[in-house]
Amino acid sequence: MKKVYLDSAATTQVRPEVISRMQDALASSYGNPSSSHGFGRTAKTAIEQARKTVAKYLNAHPAEIIFTSGGTEADNMILRCSVRDLGVKTIITSKIEHHAVLHTAQALAYEYGVELLFVDLDSVGNPDLVHLESLLKRDESKKLVSLMHVNNEIGNTIDITAIGNLCEAYGALFHSDTVQSIGHFPWDVQKCKAHFLTAAAHKFHGPKGVGFAYIKRNTGLKPLILGGSQERGFRAGTEPFHNIVGLEEAMNAAYDHMEEERTYVTELKRYFIEKIAMAIPEIAFNGLSGDMEKSTYTLVNVRLPFDPEKALMLLFHLDLKGIACSKGSACQSGSDIGSHVLTEILPSEDMEKPSLRFSFSKYNTKEELDYVIEVLKEFGSH
């Protein structure tokens, strides 16, 4: 059976060179990085080199990079520590953030009495910056703004520099979940004015179970996980050395080949949009995912003109045909709850139609996209 993987926004295929680097690390560099002997020092040196590598691509200082188990831990750590350590009394976010941010913010509102405010969204899911400014200046409370750079379901990209400038003007902290964009876009933390960013290696062809937080120096955050002195005392626990060097290898490859791979994947997305619109004329694109200029080049979210009852079998049918995609974020695909992102931006009649997220990578081909479109067209015609 033909196999087509179009779910790279959920997780990506690991690059062969990343696997090779990790295998070598597991086989030969097995010392505890905290040990003072040669085996430990070898591992520790490699971890610090990986930290420098990450910092280089962000134009950050190595001390500002903290390795974590992934984006969810990094988001939790930043939001929780900001409230606990920095006196944040108000969190401003949007209703279409990843649940790692939304659920944490809601928990902090319950546990600490933090005021939780939601910035208005337009009809396609972009934050209203005029409303954001009004929320920033409504009172003198210490505020944290948390808005993701690339939405993981509809692909909208926000003007992170403009938001950073607004936060700076009103003395607010700025956190951005950049899990869907680090490894796919160039970054300069000096320009975007963010205090905190988060990333996960498995979104850019690295291993699962490792990511990092960018935490601007002198912000005053204290450790969330206590124990040893790992990660400069900020995150205790023996470092997953093989995962960290895997992340470094994936990041090197992502930025070394970014221009050519971005050109290739952008063309795949453009091709998919044109062909599926011709094959299924009544199709619609959710958010800005159909706009090549205002959304990420890595995904598209389509709303299909299929009967709601029949549509219940759509994902199952695609799976039988060897096609992997998503009806929303992978974090909630095992749930019957609909997409919280689409619920916010679509009228109820459109929510009854099936929506699918197709996300692309360097490993996909136009022939695969032709196959997927043909399967969808055939499903809709029966």
Give helix 258-279 / helix 366-381 axis angle, nearest 10°. 20
How confident is the model over 162-192, as pLDDT tens digits?
Answer: 999 999 999 999 999 999 999 999 999 999 9
16-256 has which fold? Aspartate Aminotransferase; domain 2 (3.40.640)
Selecting among 81, 167, 192, 331, the annotated active-site residue is 331
Q: What is the mean pLDDT of residues 24-49?
A: 94
How far is the C-alpha of 366 from the C-alpha of 44, rounded, in Å?
43
In DSSP notation, 176-245 reads EE-TTTBTTB---HHHH--SEEEEEGGGTTS-TT-EEEEE-TTS----SB-SS-TGGGTB-S---HHHHH
3-state secondary structure 27-40: HHCCCCCCCCCHHH
CA torsion, ordered 247, 251, 257, 258, to nearest 10 deg:
130
Contact 262, 297 (CB under 8 A): yes
Question: Which pLDDT does position 336 carry in this prediction?
Answer: 56
SS3 (DSSP) at 381:
helix
Q: What is the mean pLDDT of the chain?
A: 95
Q: What is the pLDDT of residues 180-235, one digit of tens each?
A: 999 999 999 999 999 999 999 999 999 999 999 999 999 999 998 999 989 988 99
pTM: 0.95
Q: What is the per-residue pLDDT across 122-139, written as a single tens digit (0 to 9) for each?
A: 999 999 999 999 999 999
Please list the alpha-helical segments (H only) found in the chain: 16-28, 38-58, 71-86, 99-112, 129-136, 160-169, 189-192, 241-256, 258-279, 308-311, 314-320, 340-345, 348-351, 366-381
Cα distance between residue 75 and residue 81, in whole Å: 10
Active site residue 167: no
Give the type of residue at 114. Answer: V
Domain boundaries along the sequence of the chain: 4-12+258-381, 16-256
More confident position, 337 or 61 = 61
- 254-287 residue pLDDT tens: 999 999 999 999 999 999 999 999 999 999 999 9
- What CATH topology corresponds to 4-12+258-381? Aspartate Aminotransferase, domain 1 (3.90.1150)
